[in-house]
Structure 1
Amino acid sequence: MKLSKGANAPVPTSLLAVVVSWRSEHAVDAHALLLEGSGTVRSDRDLVFYNAPRHVSQAVTLDQEPAPRTARLSVSLPRTEADVDRIVVAGSVENGTFGDITGLTLTVHAVDGAVATFEIEDADAVRALMFGEFYRRDGRWRFRAVGQGWASGLAGLVTEFGVQVDDPADPARTTHPTDPFRLHRSARTSPSQEVRSARSATGAQPDPAPPGLRDRHDLAPVRHFPHGSFASDPPRRSAQSAREDGATGLTSDDVVVQRFSSSDDDADGRTGQEAAHNRSDASASVRPRTDLLDRAETAATLGSYRPVDLTRHTSETAPAAPPPPPNPDLADWHSDPEAPERLRWWDGTEWTSATCQHHPPSNRHCARCGHPLRRKLLGGLAPCQRCELEIEEYLTHWHTQAWRVLTTHGPRGPVWAALWASLRYQRIDADAGRRALRAVALSYVERLVTFTFADGEVQHAELELFEQAVTELALGGPLIEDLRRRMHRGRTLSRLRAGDLPVVRTPGLHLDPEEKVHVDLPATHVRQLARGPKLTEGRLIGSNKKLRFVGAGAGTEMPWSRIISVHAEQETVVIAATSSRGGGTFAVADPDYVAAALEGALRVAKRLVLTPGQRDTRSIPQEVKAEVWQRDGGKCVECGDGHYLEFDHVIPLSRGGATSATNLQILCRSCNRAKGARI
C-alpha cells in the first residue's frame, strides 16, 4: 500500500523489515525509538542507533551492513514489550540535509512482500527526519507515515522523545558508573543529605557514612570488610590494598554503597563500592537493605543516568574495552577479562568497576564466600551458616519487593529484570529466589486469572500472558494445571462467541443450500406447565441459518433473525425469541459450550461479532478490578477462600445492575454458582 504523509495502514504482528532507500550520493543513518504511552522513551536504552544497534528486548535491530544506498531496521512486533506503545522510525545525515537527497523512500516488508511504502518527495532542509511510526490500535499494529524534520539533527530528534544526550563539548559533564542498583538522585540533594533524611524518617541511628555518601569535608576513616568476613575486630586496611590482594567482596551493604557512588566520590579516587559500613560482629555484617529494589525499580523506570553519546565510534575512535561475556544481554558476574582470578559485574551493556573474589568449586568450601564448611556429627558437610543467614534475611525483604513488582509491572520488563539482577549481584541462586516467591507467585497467577474472567472474555494476549507468567515463575502442580485448563477453556468459549465456529457433519439431515451446521447434540426441552415441568428428549441443531430442535413426535425451527438472545443458566441453555414456539429452555451436557456456540452463530447471522480488542457491556475497567480486589482482600467475601475467585455483580446485569466497584464483589466459584442470578 502506498502511503501519503499522515496516512496509516495496518501491518501484520510479525517480524518486519523497514528499508530506507535513496538514489543520491549521501549517507543516511536509520534509528528507532521505543516509546511508552506518554510519548517518551522509558530509558535511554530505548534508542536504537549506530552506537547501540540492538534493543535489549530484541524488538528492534539495526542492520550495520546494509546494501548500498539503503538503511535497514528489523522490527519484531511479537517481541515488543507490552508497555511499548509506539516505535518511531527516523533517520539522520551528517553531511548535507534531507532536502538534498533524491528518491527517498521508506518501505515496510513482511514475509509475503511489501505492506506499506512512503515516498518522501518534499523533505525540508533538515538533518534529522522522522519517517513514520508503528503504533497500537485496538490490539493490533498500524504504521503511520509522518515525514517530520528537525534542523538540530539527531540530537534534537531524540531529545524530543526524552533521551538525554551527552554533550562532549561540555567540560563539566561527569561519567557515572553503570550499576543497575544505583539511585537516580536529584542534583539538588547531596548524598549525605539523602542518607540523613532516610535515617531521620525511620528513626534509625545513622551509620558511619562511606566515602561515596559523606560530604567532602567529612574525611573520617572507614573500614571495609570483604564478603563473608566475620572477624570480631579485623585489622584496618584501605580499599586499595583490599583490591590489590583480591580480597574485595560484596555484601548487601556494598550494593547500597555502590548504588550511591557517582561524581560525589572522594578526591582520593575511592568509590562507594570500595568502602562499607563499620561493622563489629556477624549480625551487623548481614544487615539487610530494604530499599534495594525500591532504588532498582526507580533506576529501571527512570532509565539510564548517563547521557547518550551520539559521537560515532569507529575502530580508531572507540575506547579500548574488554570483550563482552558470552551472554551480553544478562547482567551477571563473569570472569574479569583483565584479571581472570576474580569476578567482575557486567550490567547488561558494559563492564562495571564492581569486582569480587572468585572461589573455585570445592566440596569443602562455600561456593559463595569461600569459607570452610563445618562437618556434621554423623558425616557430611553442613551448609555455610553465615551465607544462609545473610541469604535468608535478604530474601525476607526481597520477596516483599517482588510482590510489589508483580502487581504493578508483572513478571516482565526492566523492573522485573532488575529484581533478579539484584539476586545475582548478591550471588544468591535463582532457585532460592523462586522458592521464596512461590506463595506470592501463586497469588499473582490466581489474581491474573480472576481479572481475566471478570468480563467473561479470554483473549489470546491474556492467555499468552498467563503462560509467560507460569514459565517465568517456574510454577507447576495441580492448581496451576487446573488454572491452565480453565484459561484454555475460557479462550475456546471466547472464540466461539466471536464467531470462530466449528463445522459438524450431520448425515441424514436435510440442509438448505450453503447451510453449515455448528452444533448438533442431544438436548432435553424443558417446558414449565401447571402440572409440572414437561421434558422432551431430542436433538438441538444450530446452523449458520437457523436453530432447530428435533424431538420425539415434535420439532421446531426458527431463523436467527427471530432469536433475541442465548445464555447459559444453571445446567441449561435459555433461548429467548420473538415467539414462544422458537425459544425455550434446553438441558444439555455442557451448557457453557453450547451457549457460546449458539451465541457466536447468532452474532454471525446478525453481524454482531465483536472486533478484536473490544468488549461488550460486561467489561470491567482494570482500575475497578484492582479497587474491588484491594477492598475484599483478594478473598471470597462469603467463605474467605482464596482459590478459584471470580468477580460477581451483586445486582446481576440481567436485572439492571451496574458495572461499578460498589456493585461488584469477590466470590469463589462455588459461592458464585450458589448465588446464581439472585440479589
Structure 2
Amino acid sequence: MADKWLRAFRSAGDSCARCGTKTRLLQSYCPECKAFVNSTLTQYSAAARNVLAHSGPLGPEWITLHEWLFGARIPRKHALDTIRADALTWLNRYATYALSDGIITDDELATFRQAARAFELEPAAITHIESQLLREQMLGEIRQGRLPTVQIPGLHLPTDEYCYMVAGATRWRDLQAGPTPSQGQLAITNRKIRFIAQQHGGEIPLSKVQRVSYLDRTTVLIESTARSLSGRFSVPDAEYTSILVDTALRIDRRILLPDNGDRPTRHIPAHVKSAVFQRDRGACVECGANSYLEYDHIIPFSRGGASTEGNVQLLCRACNLAKGARV
C-alpha cells in the first residue's frame, strides 16, 4: 500500500504542465518551458490588471486575454494564481459599489458570483463578501416594505395582527442599583411591540413608538411616548431589528418609502463612487480597513448632505455604525 501511494505521489508531479515531458519531482515545468512560462505570466499579470481596471472579468477583453493564454499552453489556474490579490480587490470594489445604495438586486448578486467563478477562487475566499451581499439584499427588501411573517409558539394573536419577528431578548431597566436585566422574547407585529417575559413584560402599540435605533450590534433603544416598554434591549441582531421596526412604523403610519422623483436622492452616482474609491485608496478613512466598506455621507443625507465627491467618504461598517448620523 505504501509503495502504491508513493508511485501515485511521484506521478502527480513528474511531467511538465505545458509540454508533458518528464520533470523532477514537484517541478511544474521542465527547464525548457520554465523561462517562457515565467515571462508569459509576467505579461499576463500586467495585462490582467489593466483589464480589471477598465472592463472587468466578464467582458470580451478578459476572454481575449485567456484565449492568448490558452494559445501559450499555460494552465489557466497557474495564471490566475498570480492575480489572486487583484481578483479579491476587484470583488471587494464591486461589492462596495453594489452596497452603496442599500439595495442588492438579483442581477448584482449574479454578476458577483459569475466574476468569482471567472477568477476560479475557492469559496472560502469570498464567503464573507457574498454573505454581506446576501444580508444587504435581505435588509434592502425589508426597507422596501417586504416584511417576513413568523409564528409565535403559544401566543394567539387577533386575526388582524401578524408577527414580523420574534427573538430572544434581554430588557435592561435602569434602577437605582444599576442596570437590571429581564430575560424574555421581543416580538414585533403589525400592531405592537411586545416583550414576552415572566417578569417585567409588556407591550406598546406602534402608534406610540417614536423610534427604534441600534446602539451597537446587539443593543436596540426603543423610544416611545409611554414608559411601559421604553429603554434598551439586547437582541441577536440589532441592525436587523431596528430596520424591521422602522419599516413597520412607516407602514403603520401609511408613509410611503422615499422615491427618486424630483426629491434629493441618497443614490451616489457611479463617477462619484469611482473617484472616492480612488481618493481613499480603497480603505476606511478612519481605521484603514479594506473590507466591509461602505460609502458614507460626511454631512448626513438626512441633514441635507449631497451625494458629491466632497461629501462622500469610505468607511468600514464598524466605523460607519459608530458615526451614525453625526457629522
TM-score if structure 2 supplies the norm length? 0.76
Q: Cα distance, 1:657 vs. partner? A: 4.0
For 1:632 and 1:462, how far apart are their aligned partners in 2?
24
Report the 3-state secondary structure (helix = DSSP H, G, I; strand = E; otherwise coil) of the residue aligned with 1:492.
Answer: helix
Letter in 2 for 1:539: Q
Match of 1:555 in 2: 202
Deviations for 1:464-490, whole angstroms, at most 9, x for unmatched residues?
122111112111254412222222222
Are positions 1:395 and 2:41 aligned together? Answer: yes
Contact 2:173 2:179 (C-alpha < 8 Å) held by counterparts: yes
CA distance in 2, matches of 1:521, 1:365: 58
Q: Which residue of 1 aligns with 2:284?
A: 636
Q: Alignment partner of 1:636: what SS? A: coil
The answer as to whether partners of 1:395 and 1:436 remain within 8 angstroms in 2 is yes
- The answer (yes or no) to whether the contact 2:203–2:229 under 8 Å persists in 1 is yes
Give 1:446 deviation, angstroms.
1.2
Deviation of residue 576 (structure 1)?
Answer: 5.0
SS of the residue aligned with 1:488? Answer: helix
Return 570-579 or 427-436, whichever deviates more. Answer: 570-579
Alignment of 1:229-628 (within 5 A): 368=19, 383-476=29-122, 478-526=124-172, 537-550=183-196, 552-553=199-200, 555-559=202-206, 561-563=207-209, 565-570=211-216, 571-575=218-222, 577=224, 584-606=231-253, 617-628=265-276
SS of corresponding position for 1:455: coil
* 2:157 alignment partner AA: L
Q: Which residue type is aligned with residue 485 of structure 1?
A: S
Q: 1:393, 1:641 → 2: CA distance?
A: 34
More relative contact order in 1 or in 2 (CA 8 Å, sep 6+)?
2
Tell me the CA shift for residue 407 of structure 1: 3.8
Give, in angstroms, the shift of residue 591 of structure 1: 0.7
- Contact 2:17 / 2:75 at 8 angstroms: preserved in 1? no
Structure with bigger helix share is: 2
How big is the shift at 1:625? Answer: 1.2
Distance 1:576 1:585 in 2: 9
Distance 1:625 1:577, change over 3 A: farther
* Compared CA separation, residues 547 and 384, structure 1 to 2 (3 A): same
Point out the more displaced range, 531-540 or 598-607.
531-540
CA RMSD of aligned residues (A): 3.8
In structure 1, runs of 5+ residues without a counterpart are 1-362
Could you say if the C-alpha distance between residues 481 and 464 of structure 1 is closer, same or farther in structure 2, counting changes exceeding 3 Å? same
Counterparts of 1:461 and 1:611, CA distance in 2: 23
Q: 1:554 to 1:488 in 2, by over 3 A?
A: closer
The answer as to whether partners of 1:600 and 1:609 remain within 8 angstroms in 2 is: no
Contact map agreement 1:558 1:582 (CA 8 A) in 2: no
CA pair 410-668 structure 1, distance change in 2 beyond 3 A: same
* CA–CA separation in structure 2 for the residues paired with 1:379 and 1:537: 63
SS in 1 for 2:130: helix
User: Aligned to 1:665, which of 308, 313, 319?
Assistant: 313
What corresponds to 1:645 in structure 2? 293
- Percent of matched pairs sharing the same residue: 37
Residues 1:452 and 1:394: Cα distance change in structure 2 (over 3 Å): same
Distance 1:425 1:675 in 2: 52
**Residues 548/422 of structure 1: CA separation in 2 closer, same or farther (3 Å cut):** same
- For 1:618 and 1:612, the matched residues in 2 are separated by 10
Is the CA contact (8 Å cut-off) linking 1:499 and 1:609 kept in structure 2?
no
The secondary structure found in structure 1 opposite 2:296 is strand
Q: For the residues of structure 1 that align with 2:230 and 2:269, how far apart are their CA atoms? A: 34
**Residue 478 to residue 670, structure 1, CA distance change in 2 (3 Å):** farther
Letter in 2 for 1:466: F
Residues 643 and 668, structure 1, Cα contact 8 Å, conserved in 2: yes
Structure 2 residue matching 1:593: 3-state secondary structure:
helix
Distance change (3 Å), C-alpha of 1:398 and 1:618? same
Following superposition, the deviation at residue 674 of structure 1 comes to 4.8
Which SS does the other structure have where 2:49 is aligned?
A: helix
Cα gap change, 1:405 to 1:550, in 2 (>3 Å): same
**Secondary structure of residue in 2 paired with 1:480:** helix
Distance 1:472 1:398 in 2: 15
- CA distance in structure 2 between the aligned counterparts of 1:428 and 1:670, rounded to whole angstroms: 43
Shift of 1:497: 2.6
